[in-house]
Amino acid sequence: MIGLILGTSEGKKILSLLNKYTDDIFVSTATTYGGELLKDYSYKVINTKPLNLNELADELKKNNVEILIDASHPYAAVITENAIEACSRLKIHYIRYERKNVVSDFEDKIIKIKDYDELGQKLKEVEGNILNTTGSRNIAKFMDMKLENRIIHRVLPSIEVMMRCFSLGVKTEDIIAIKGPVSYELNVGFLKEYDAKAIILKDSGKAGGTEEKLKAAFDLGVQAFVIERKKQRFDYLFSDEEELVNYIRESGKI
């Protein structure tokens, strides 16, 4: 069986390509919502909740997974670390799919940040409103920074996310609830509407709308703070979905 950890839109394309040859697939997503997006695809087993290392290893072993494709989000470092360790324990062939970064094309215009501690120090120098587009799971880190700035958070429009925002004390007027990625024009609109002087983003690749955010910020003279990806080394790394599936075909697993 092939295992597939999904966390990006490209994961669905990988699953679609695999479905041309097999449905003997174990799929794992971190949310029920992620599972709902896969109703039109074929697979034998699906998990729709977060798994720790031991739980993931148990699922891989139970389903006799021989190859694991890790297509989790570029910033889901813990998921990737657990996947690598689980595969090492069980002698499973681990393959990483990761979006190409895009910020390298704009390095002279952005402010690269290693972690949220460094970000907190840098944001103290910003005068004015800040637009956070790093997701609801990072809001607590912003609250802990105790900044005087107004911070507007762009998050997914789900009940779970709204509850998380409110439980952390985020005001309704400081929430933009919309599913990304969004266009350059909409990014410009958000920055103008909230009079943002800085935008915080991840390097989520072209498919994640990073270019549109950066270009909007540059055109409006808004400072762009980019949280860097954690540097990891992979023996088998792909950034093209078809090349990945062709590799698996040539390996004789499908």
Look up the CATH number of the domain holding residue 186: 3.40.50.1000
Q: What is the pTM of this model?
A: 0.86
- The whole-number average pLDDT for the span 140-166 is 95
Judgement on whether residues 142 and 74 belong to the same structural domain of the protein:
no
The reply to whether 83 and 173 lie within a common domain is no
In this structure, the answer to whether residues 95 and 139 fall within a common structural domain is no
Both 55 and 114 in one domain: the answer is: no
The answer to whether residues 9 and 62 belong to one domain is yes
Residue 212 has pLDDT above 90, yes or no: yes
pLDDT tens column, 243-253: 999 999 998 87
Same-domain check for residues 86 and 169: no
Do 70 and 155 lie in a common domain?
A: no
If asked whether residues 75 and 114 sit together in one domain, one would say no
pLDDT at position 105 is 86
Q: Are residues 181 and 246 in the same domain?
A: no
CA dist., res. 130 & res. 149, Å (int): 7
- In terms of domains, do 107 and 217 share one? yes
- pLDDT tens per residue, range 43-64: 999 999 999 999 999 999 999 9
| Domain count of the fold of the chain | 2
pLDDT of 62 reads 98
Give the pLDDT confidence of 230-240 residue by residue, as tens digits. Answer: 888 899 999 99
Question: In the structure, what pLDDT confidence band is assigned to residue 104 with cuts at 50, 70 and 90?
Answer: confident
Q: Count Cβ neighbours within 10 Å for each residue of 81-107 and write b for 16 or more, e otherwise.
A: ebbbebbeebebbbbbbbbebbbeebe
- Please give the residue range of the domain that contains residue 79: 2-100+231-250
